Amino acid sequence: MKIIDHNHDSLFIFFTMKTSLKTKIYEAQSIGNVEPIEYMTPYPSMRSLIEGQTIKFSDQIMVEESKMTNQGFFSYVQQASNWLESLGIGPNQRVIMLETKHPQSLILLYGIWNLGSSVVLPFNMDIEKVKKKSETGHVIESKNDLFQEIKEYPERFEPKYKPLLNDEAILSFEKVAGIRLSHYNLLINANGLQKAMRINSRTRIHSDLSVGSMCWVTFQAILPIYCGCIYDAIEPELTIGTSGNDYNLRKDIENIEQFLDNEIGICIENTTALSIGQTPMHLSEYNLEDNHIKIKGHSVMMGYMDDSINETLFKDKRLTIPF
Protein backbone atom coordinates (compact mmCIF):
# COMPACT_ATOMS: atom_id res chain seq x y z
CA MET A 1 0.00 0.00 0.00
CA LYS A 2 1.36 3.44 -1.01
CA ILE A 3 1.03 6.17 1.60
CA ILE A 4 0.61 9.65 0.13
CA ASP A 5 1.76 12.51 2.34
CA HIS A 6 -0.54 15.30 1.18
CA ASN A 7 0.92 17.76 3.69
CA HIS A 8 4.42 17.16 2.32
CA ASP A 9 3.17 17.57 -1.27
CA SER A 10 1.40 20.82 -0.39
CA LEU A 11 4.50 22.21 1.29
CA PHE A 12 6.64 21.25 -1.71
CA ILE A 13 4.25 23.00 -4.12
CA PHE A 14 4.09 26.08 -1.84
CA PHE A 15 7.86 26.48 -1.59
CA THR A 16 8.31 25.77 -5.30
CA MET A 17 5.84 28.56 -6.12
CA LYS A 18 7.59 30.94 -3.71
CA THR A 19 10.99 30.15 -5.23
CA SER A 20 9.63 30.59 -8.76
CA LEU A 21 8.08 33.95 -7.88
CA LYS A 22 11.27 35.12 -6.18
CA THR A 23 13.14 34.31 -9.38
CA LYS A 24 10.62 36.27 -11.48
CA ILE A 25 10.98 39.33 -9.25
CA TYR A 26 14.78 39.08 -9.34
CA GLU A 27 14.72 38.85 -13.14
CA ALA A 28 12.58 41.99 -13.30
CA GLN A 29 15.06 43.76 -11.01
CA SER A 30 18.02 42.86 -13.27
CA ILE A 31 18.84 45.04 -16.25
CA GLY A 32 21.09 44.04 -19.12
CA ASN A 33 23.86 41.96 -17.61
CA VAL A 34 23.77 43.85 -14.32
CA GLU A 35 22.07 42.11 -11.42
CA PRO A 36 21.13 44.09 -8.28
CA ILE A 37 23.92 42.48 -6.26
CA GLU A 38 26.54 43.73 -8.75
CA TYR A 39 25.99 47.48 -8.42
CA MET A 40 27.59 48.95 -5.33
CA THR A 41 25.86 51.74 -3.41
CA PRO A 42 27.89 53.89 -0.99
CA TYR A 43 25.91 52.55 1.97
CA PRO A 44 24.49 49.09 2.80
CA SER A 45 21.29 50.38 4.46
CA MET A 46 19.36 53.46 5.47
CA ARG A 47 20.84 53.15 8.95
CA SER A 48 24.35 53.31 7.49
CA LEU A 49 23.35 56.25 5.29
CA ILE A 50 22.47 58.53 8.19
CA GLU A 51 25.50 57.37 10.19
CA GLY A 52 27.89 57.85 7.26
CA GLN A 53 26.57 61.28 6.29
CA THR A 54 26.86 62.40 9.91
CA ILE A 55 30.53 61.44 9.94
CA LYS A 56 31.05 63.28 6.64
CA PHE A 57 29.18 66.50 7.47
CA SER A 58 29.07 66.30 11.28
CA ASP A 59 29.03 69.95 12.44
CA GLN A 60 27.59 71.45 9.26
CA ILE A 61 24.06 72.86 9.24
CA MET A 62 21.45 70.38 8.01
CA VAL A 63 18.20 72.28 8.75
CA GLU A 64 18.56 76.02 8.18
CA GLU A 65 15.50 77.20 10.12
CA SER A 66 16.52 75.57 13.41
CA LYS A 67 20.29 75.56 12.72
CA MET A 68 20.26 71.83 13.42
CA THR A 69 23.53 70.18 12.44
CA ASN A 70 23.97 66.71 10.98
CA GLN A 71 25.37 65.54 14.30
CA GLY A 72 22.44 67.08 16.15
CA PHE A 73 19.99 65.30 13.86
CA PHE A 74 21.77 61.97 14.31
CA SER A 75 21.70 62.39 18.10
CA TYR A 76 17.92 62.81 17.92
CA VAL A 77 17.70 59.69 15.74
CA GLN A 78 19.68 57.74 18.34
CA GLN A 79 17.37 58.98 21.10
CA ALA A 80 14.34 58.03 19.01
CA SER A 81 15.70 54.49 18.58
CA ASN A 82 16.20 54.15 22.35
CA TRP A 83 12.66 55.45 22.92
CA LEU A 84 11.19 53.01 20.39
CA GLU A 85 13.08 50.14 21.99
CA SER A 86 11.64 51.14 25.38
CA LEU A 87 8.17 50.65 23.84
CA GLY A 88 8.99 47.00 23.19
CA ILE A 89 9.90 47.36 19.52
CA GLY A 90 12.83 45.32 18.26
CA PRO A 91 14.78 44.67 15.04
CA ASN A 92 13.12 43.03 12.04
CA GLN A 93 9.67 44.19 13.12
CA ARG A 94 7.26 46.40 11.22
CA VAL A 95 6.39 49.76 12.76
CA ILE A 96 3.37 51.74 11.59
CA MET A 97 4.35 55.40 11.41
CA LEU A 98 1.62 58.01 11.58
CA GLU A 99 2.09 61.59 10.41
CA THR A 100 4.20 63.95 12.49
CA LYS A 101 5.66 67.40 11.84
CA HIS A 102 8.90 68.21 10.03
CA PRO A 103 11.66 67.53 11.05
CA GLN A 104 10.23 65.20 13.74
CA SER A 105 8.91 62.99 10.95
CA LEU A 106 12.44 62.55 9.59
CA ILE A 107 13.81 61.75 13.04
CA LEU A 108 11.12 59.12 13.63
CA LEU A 109 11.63 57.56 10.19
CA TYR A 110 15.38 57.20 10.63
CA GLY A 111 14.92 56.19 14.27
CA ILE A 112 12.91 53.16 13.09
CA TRP A 113 15.50 52.26 10.45
CA ASN A 114 18.32 52.78 12.95
CA LEU A 115 16.58 50.26 15.21
CA GLY A 116 16.71 47.69 12.39
CA SER A 117 12.96 47.76 11.79
CA SER A 118 10.77 48.30 8.73
CA VAL A 119 8.53 51.38 8.36
CA VAL A 120 4.85 50.90 7.50
CA LEU A 121 3.15 53.88 5.84
CA PRO A 122 -0.68 53.65 6.06
CA PHE A 123 -1.30 56.55 3.65
CA ASN A 124 -5.14 56.79 3.70
CA MET A 125 -5.92 53.20 4.66
CA ASP A 126 -7.88 52.47 7.84
CA ILE A 127 -5.37 51.82 10.61
CA GLU A 128 -7.01 48.54 11.70
CA LYS A 129 -6.73 47.22 8.15
CA VAL A 130 -3.10 48.31 8.04
CA LYS A 131 -2.36 46.46 11.28
CA LYS A 132 -3.96 43.31 9.93
CA LYS A 133 -2.31 43.46 6.51
CA SER A 134 1.13 44.32 7.85
CA GLU A 135 0.83 41.84 10.73
CA THR A 136 2.02 44.28 13.38
CA GLY A 137 0.55 46.01 16.40
CA HIS A 138 3.31 48.59 16.66
CA VAL A 139 1.74 51.98 15.90
CA ILE A 140 3.73 55.14 16.59
CA GLU A 141 1.83 58.38 16.92
CA SER A 142 3.64 61.10 18.79
CA LYS A 143 0.73 63.07 20.26
CA ASN A 144 3.21 65.29 22.05
CA ASP A 145 6.24 66.99 20.54
CA LEU A 146 8.65 64.18 19.60
CA PHE A 147 11.53 66.16 21.07
CA GLN A 148 9.77 66.01 24.44
CA GLU A 149 9.09 62.27 24.07
CA ILE A 150 12.73 61.38 23.50
CA LYS A 151 14.63 64.01 25.52
CA GLU A 152 15.35 61.73 28.49
CA TYR A 153 16.83 58.97 26.35
CA PRO A 154 20.57 58.48 25.62
CA GLU A 155 22.08 60.03 22.49
CA ARG A 156 23.95 56.82 21.81
CA PHE A 157 22.18 53.69 20.57
CA GLU A 158 23.78 50.27 20.24
CA PRO A 159 22.02 48.42 17.40
CA LYS A 160 21.24 44.77 17.96
CA TYR A 161 20.83 44.24 14.22
CA LYS A 162 22.24 46.06 11.21
CA PRO A 163 19.90 45.86 8.19
CA LEU A 164 21.08 44.33 4.92
CA LEU A 165 20.51 45.73 1.44
CA ASN A 166 17.82 43.17 0.62
CA ASP A 167 15.90 43.64 3.88
CA GLU A 168 12.50 45.32 3.76
CA ALA A 169 12.77 49.02 4.60
CA ILE A 170 9.28 50.27 3.68
CA LEU A 171 5.81 48.78 3.40
CA SER A 172 3.62 51.43 1.79
CA PHE A 173 -0.14 51.28 1.39
CA GLU A 174 -0.16 54.17 -1.05
CA LYS A 175 -1.30 51.39 -3.34
CA VAL A 176 -3.97 49.30 -1.63
CA ALA A 177 -2.17 46.03 -2.40
CA GLY A 178 0.76 47.17 -0.26
CA ILE A 179 4.21 47.72 -1.80
CA ARG A 180 7.38 46.33 -0.23
CA LEU A 181 10.63 48.18 -0.83
CA SER A 182 14.12 47.17 0.25
CA HIS A 183 16.97 49.29 1.56
CA TYR A 184 18.64 48.74 -1.81
CA ASN A 185 15.52 49.99 -3.64
CA LEU A 186 15.60 53.25 -1.67
CA LEU A 187 19.34 53.77 -2.03
CA ILE A 188 19.54 53.00 -5.76
CA ASN A 189 16.60 55.29 -6.55
CA ALA A 190 18.26 58.14 -4.62
CA ASN A 191 21.55 57.37 -6.36
CA GLY A 192 19.87 57.64 -9.76
CA LEU A 193 18.21 60.94 -8.84
CA GLN A 194 21.48 62.43 -7.66
CA LYS A 195 23.14 61.49 -10.96
CA ALA A 196 20.29 62.75 -13.14
CA MET A 197 19.66 66.00 -11.22
CA ARG A 198 23.39 66.60 -10.62
CA ILE A 199 22.85 67.60 -7.02
CA ASN A 200 26.00 68.70 -5.20
CA SER A 201 26.54 68.51 -1.46
CA ARG A 202 25.49 71.56 0.55
CA THR A 203 22.85 72.49 -2.03
CA ARG A 204 19.95 74.28 -0.34
CA ILE A 205 16.86 72.23 -1.12
CA HIS A 206 13.15 72.47 -0.36
CA SER A 207 10.09 70.32 -1.00
CA ASP A 208 6.70 70.43 0.63
CA LEU A 209 5.23 66.98 0.11
CA SER A 210 2.65 65.05 2.10
CA VAL A 211 4.28 63.18 4.98
CA GLY A 212 3.76 59.47 4.57
CA SER A 213 3.78 59.35 0.77
CA MET A 214 6.60 57.66 -1.11
CA CYS A 215 7.36 61.00 -2.80
CA TRP A 216 7.92 62.43 0.68
CA VAL A 217 10.16 59.50 1.63
CA THR A 218 12.29 59.76 -1.51
CA PHE A 219 12.48 63.49 -2.19
CA GLN A 220 12.19 64.95 1.30
CA ALA A 221 13.49 62.29 3.67
CA ILE A 222 16.20 60.50 1.67
CA LEU A 223 17.48 62.54 -1.30
CA PRO A 224 18.65 65.65 0.64
CA ILE A 225 20.47 63.51 3.20
CA TYR A 226 21.90 61.18 0.55
CA CYS A 227 23.29 64.21 -1.32
CA GLY A 228 24.43 66.06 1.82
CA CYS A 229 22.06 68.97 1.21
CA ILE A 230 20.71 71.65 3.54
CA TYR A 231 16.97 71.87 4.21
CA ASP A 232 16.10 75.52 3.51
CA ALA A 233 12.50 76.68 2.98
CA ILE A 234 13.46 80.39 2.83
CA GLU A 235 16.17 80.63 0.18
CA PRO A 236 16.37 77.25 -1.56
CA GLU A 237 18.54 76.71 -4.61
CA LEU A 238 16.51 73.68 -5.69
CA THR A 239 12.79 73.04 -5.23
CA ILE A 240 10.83 69.85 -5.84
CA GLY A 241 7.05 69.56 -5.80
CA THR A 242 3.92 69.05 -7.85
CA SER A 243 3.89 72.34 -9.78
CA GLY A 244 5.83 75.56 -10.18
CA ASN A 245 9.13 74.07 -8.98
CA ASP A 246 12.54 73.41 -10.47
CA TYR A 247 11.43 69.78 -10.71
CA ASN A 248 7.77 68.77 -10.78
CA LEU A 249 6.45 65.31 -9.98
CA ARG A 250 3.98 63.58 -12.29
CA LYS A 251 2.13 60.34 -11.56
CA ASP A 252 0.36 60.09 -14.94
CA ILE A 253 3.02 57.81 -16.38
CA GLU A 254 0.66 56.80 -19.19
CA ASN A 255 1.63 60.23 -20.62
CA ILE A 256 5.36 59.81 -19.97
CA GLU A 257 6.20 60.34 -23.64
CA GLN A 258 5.00 63.96 -23.21
CA PHE A 259 6.99 64.75 -20.04
CA LEU A 260 9.26 67.80 -20.02
CA ASP A 261 12.90 67.63 -18.96
CA ASN A 262 12.12 69.01 -15.49
CA GLU A 263 9.24 66.61 -14.86
CA ILE A 264 9.88 63.45 -12.87
CA GLY A 265 7.82 60.37 -13.67
CA ILE A 266 6.52 58.78 -10.47
CA CYS A 267 5.89 55.04 -10.27
CA ILE A 268 5.70 53.72 -6.71
CA GLU A 269 6.38 50.18 -7.90
CA ASN A 270 9.73 51.49 -9.15
CA THR A 271 10.44 52.78 -5.62
CA THR A 272 9.38 56.33 -6.63
CA ALA A 273 11.20 57.86 -9.58
CA LEU A 274 10.97 56.11 -12.95
CA SER A 275 12.24 58.88 -15.21
CA ILE A 276 13.55 62.42 -15.46
CA GLY A 277 11.55 63.78 -18.34
CA GLN A 278 11.34 60.82 -20.70
CA THR A 279 14.78 59.46 -19.78
CA PRO A 280 14.66 56.37 -17.52
CA MET A 281 16.39 56.52 -14.19
CA HIS A 282 19.86 55.01 -13.95
CA LEU A 283 19.53 51.20 -13.98
CA SER A 284 15.84 51.39 -14.95
CA GLU A 285 14.00 50.99 -18.22
CA TYR A 286 10.38 51.11 -19.34
CA ASN A 287 8.19 50.74 -22.39
CA LEU A 288 4.52 51.55 -22.96
CA GLU A 289 2.22 48.97 -24.49
CA ASP A 290 -1.46 49.72 -25.01
CA ASN A 291 -2.95 50.26 -21.53
CA HIS A 292 0.03 49.30 -19.39
CA ILE A 293 3.70 50.03 -18.78
CA LYS A 294 6.45 47.43 -18.48
CA ILE A 295 9.39 48.26 -16.25
CA LYS A 296 12.58 46.54 -15.13
CA GLY A 297 15.66 47.53 -13.22
CA HIS A 298 17.16 47.83 -9.79
CA SER A 299 14.45 50.12 -8.42
CA VAL A 300 11.70 47.57 -9.06
CA MET A 301 9.97 46.78 -5.76
CA MET A 302 10.28 43.59 -3.71
CA GLY A 303 6.66 42.94 -4.66
CA TYR A 304 3.10 43.53 -3.52
CA MET A 305 1.89 42.00 -0.28
CA ASP A 306 -0.42 39.75 -2.31
CA ASP A 307 1.54 37.05 -4.12
CA SER A 308 -1.40 36.26 -6.39
CA ILE A 309 -1.01 39.77 -7.86
CA ASN A 310 2.76 39.30 -8.10
CA GLU A 311 2.27 36.06 -10.02
CA THR A 312 0.12 37.91 -12.55
CA LEU A 313 2.22 41.05 -13.03
CA PHE A 314 5.80 39.75 -12.81
CA LYS A 315 6.32 38.01 -16.13
CA ASP A 316 8.70 37.98 -19.10
CA LYS A 317 11.45 39.35 -16.83
CA ARG A 318 9.50 42.57 -16.28
CA LEU A 319 6.88 44.09 -14.03
CA THR A 320 3.72 44.95 -15.95
CA ILE A 321 1.53 47.68 -14.45
CA PRO A 322 -1.90 48.40 -15.95
CA PHE A 323 -3.17 51.98 -16.12
In-domain check, residue 132: yes
User: What are the pLDDT digits (tens) for 189-209?
Assistant: 999 999 999 999 999 999 989
Domain region containing 194: 39-322
Sorting pLDDT into bands at 50, 70 and 90, what band is 31? very high
In-domain check, residue 111: yes
**Residues 164/187, Cβ–Cβ less than 8 Å:** no
Letter string b/e over residues 144-154, b meaning 16 or more CB atoms within 10 A of that residue's CB: eebeebbeebe
Largest interatomic CA distance in the chain: 82
Least confident of 39-43, 134-138, 260-264: 39-43
CA pair distance 54, 225, nearest whole angstrom: 9
The pLDDT value given to residue 110: 97
User: What are the pLDDT digits (tens) for 215-256?
Assistant: 999 999 999 999 999 999 999 999 999 999 999 999 999 999
pTM: 0.92
CA pair distance 181, 312, nearest whole angstrom: 19
In-domain check, residue 28: no
**What mean pLDDT comes out for the span 60-71?**
95
The pLDDT value given to residue 13: 40
In-domain check, residue 177: yes
How many domains in the chain? 1
Sorting pLDDT into bands at 50, 70 and 90, what band is 118? very high
**What mean pLDDT comes out for the span 299-306?**
97
The pLDDT value given to residue 281: 96
The pLDDT value given to residue 296: 97
Q: What single-letter DSSP state applies at residue 34? A: B
**Residues 125/173, Cβ–Cβ less than 8 Å:** yes
In-domain check, residue 145: yes
**What mean pLDDT comes out for the span 209-213?**
92
CA pair distance 320, 4, nearest whole angstrom: 39
Q: Assign residue 235 the CATH number of its domain.
A: 3.40.50.12780
SS (H, E, C) 103-142: CHHHHHHHHHHHHCCEEEECCCCCHHHHHHHHCCCCEECC
Instruction: Between 37 and 21, name the one with better pLDDT.
Output: 21
In-domain check, residue 24: no
- Quote the Cα angle for 38-43-48, to 5°: 145
